[in-house]
Amino acid sequence: MELAFFGIFGLLKIGKKGSKIYRIFYKQTYMQFEGVLRKMKTEMGSPIQYYLLFNNDFLNVNQVLNKELHIAFLKYQCLNCGLERPIFRQGFCRNCFYEIPSAGDWIMHPELSTAHLGKEDRDLDYEKKVQLQPHIVYLANSSNVKVGVTRKSQVPTRWIDQGAHEAIEIVEVPNRYLAGITEVALKEHVADKTNWRKMLTNKVDDEDLVAWRNQLRQYIPEEAASYFIESNKETEMEFPVLRYPEKVKSLNLEKTPEYRGKLMGIKGQYFLFEDNTVFNIRGSEGYYVSLNII
Ligand SMILES: [Zn+2]
């Protein structure tokens, strides 16, 4: 109320419609955002903090829980070339997806990494920078226990993005290839996929990840066996959720370019709404939207 009053007062006193000051007050009063969607930035905490970043602006999404959001899809904007082209995968247009070094096959399949052999996929300098750094093979529990790979610098971000409520490291290896072959070996004995519907409805069990880790140790390939982390414990994640949906229906901006609903939680990279709609922010990268908090 105070903020609304201040906004209107500010408008009358200082702002001319269309001026920068007008826009600032308008934004403070009605909270309007516009820009291309990128996966939310996160900060570990109780609960985890989520930030939606736009060009000159950001929103701490936790602060708008229990509020009505209006989302409208305005156009495509490829995260690499910036052009208005249909998004193909990972926020990129088709051309960029097949050309840029950050979308090579080794991203999704770490075992295909070749920088440690000095062998180029798309851009050796880039691949050396990303692949030749410490990587973690971990177990995360978001709906079931699964194995995964991430750069060490992405712990615990990766776990938060997956909506895992608990996770633990298994090995820390010096490059992406070793992490990849370890994951390939371990997924013979443990899942490597998450059931996102279970994750979002919070139908999850607590598991003893230390026991899982010790059990899986015997299957780590010889090249990576010496990198086993001897002493380790689970990391727990607490997501900002007021109420979980009972079942989920996914919002697809191409089919439903406009949506309005009350935000009840954030888990993984999803918005959870009161009417059981879930919106995957990461899955909507490259979509240029307006976002109004009502
Ligand atoms: Zn592009």
Determine the 3-state secondary structure of 65 from DSSP. coil
Cα of 97 vs centre of ligand 1, distance in Å, is 7
Cα of 134 vs centre of ligand 1, distance in Å, is 30
26 CB contacts (<8 Å, ≥6 apart)?
Answer: 7, 11, 15, 32
Determine the 3-state secondary structure of 61 from DSSP. helix
Cα of 176 vs centre of ligand 1, distance in Å, is 26
218 CB contacts (<8 Å, ≥6 apart)?
Answer: none
Q: Residue 265 in contact with residue 244, Cβ under 8 Å?
A: yes
**pLDDT tens for each residue of 169-215:** 999 999 999 999 999 999 999 999 989 999 999 999 899 999 999 99
Cα of 226 vs centre of ligand 1, distance in Å, is 41
- What sign does the CA torsion over 246, 251, 256, 261 have? positive
Cα of 91 vs centre of ligand 1, distance in Å, is 9
Cα of 119 vs centre of ligand 1, distance in Å, is 25
Burial class (CB in 10 A: 0-12, 13-18, 19+), 186: buried
Task: Note if the pTM is more than 0.85.
Answer: yes
Q: Residue 139 in contact with residue 147, Cβ under 8 Å?
A: yes
Cα of 151 vs centre of ligand 1, distance in Å, is 25
**pLDDT tens for each residue of 66-117:** 999 999 999 999 999 999 999 999 999 999 999 999 999 999 999 999 999 9
